[in-house]
Amino acid sequence: MKALVTGGAGFIGSHLTDALVQSGAVVHVIDNLSTGFRHNVHPEAVLHELDMNSDEAMQTIKQVRPDIVFHMAAQVDVQRSVADPAFDASINIVGTIRLMMACRQAEVGKLVFSSTSAVYGDANKERNLEDAVTAPISYYGLSKLTGESYIRLFHKMYGLPYTILRYSNVYGPRQNATGEGGVVSIFMNKLKQGLPLHVNGSGNQTRDFIYVQDVVQANLAAIHHGDQETVNISTGLRTSINNLIHMIKLIHGQNVDIHYGPQRPGDIMDSCLDNTKANQLLGWRPASSLFEGLSQTYQHVPMK
User: Residue 12: in which H helix or E strand, if any?
Assistant: helix 11-22
* Domain co-membership, 89 together with 216: yes
Give the integer Cα–Cα distance in Å for 188 and 64: 38
> How many angstroms separate the CA atoms of 8 and 17, rounded?
6
Instruction: Report the domain count for the chain.
Output: 2
Residue 37: CATH number of its domain: 3.40.50.720
Query: What's the mean pLDDT when you consider all of the chain?
Result: 93
Is 171 in the active site? no
Check whether residue 77 and residue 93 sit in a common domain: yes
Q: What is the pLDDT of residue 304?
A: 57
Q: What is the pTM of this model?
A: 0.94
Domain range for 145: 2-171+209-236+273-282
CATH of the domain at 242: 3.90.25.10
Residues 90 and 59 in one domain: yes
Work out the pLDDT band at 148, boundaries 50, 70, 90. very high
Residue 181, pLDDT above cutoff 60: no
Lowest mean pLDDT among 27-31, 175-179, 257-261, 270-274: 175-179
pLDDT digits (tens, 9 = 90+) for 66-109: 999 999 999 888 888 888 899 999 999 999 999 999 999 999 99
Q: Considering the candidates 120, 139, 140, 162, report the single residue annotated as catalytic.
A: 140
pLDDT (average), residues 208-235: 98
Q: Does one domain contain both 52 and 149?
A: yes
pLDDT reported for residue 126: 81
Same domain as 264, residue 167:
no
pLDDT of residue 6: 98
* Residue closest to 267 by CA, chosen among 75, 82, 21, 54: 82
Looking at the DSSP bridge assignments, the partners of residue 197 are 258
The lowest-confidence range among 33-42, 169-178, 214-223 is: 169-178
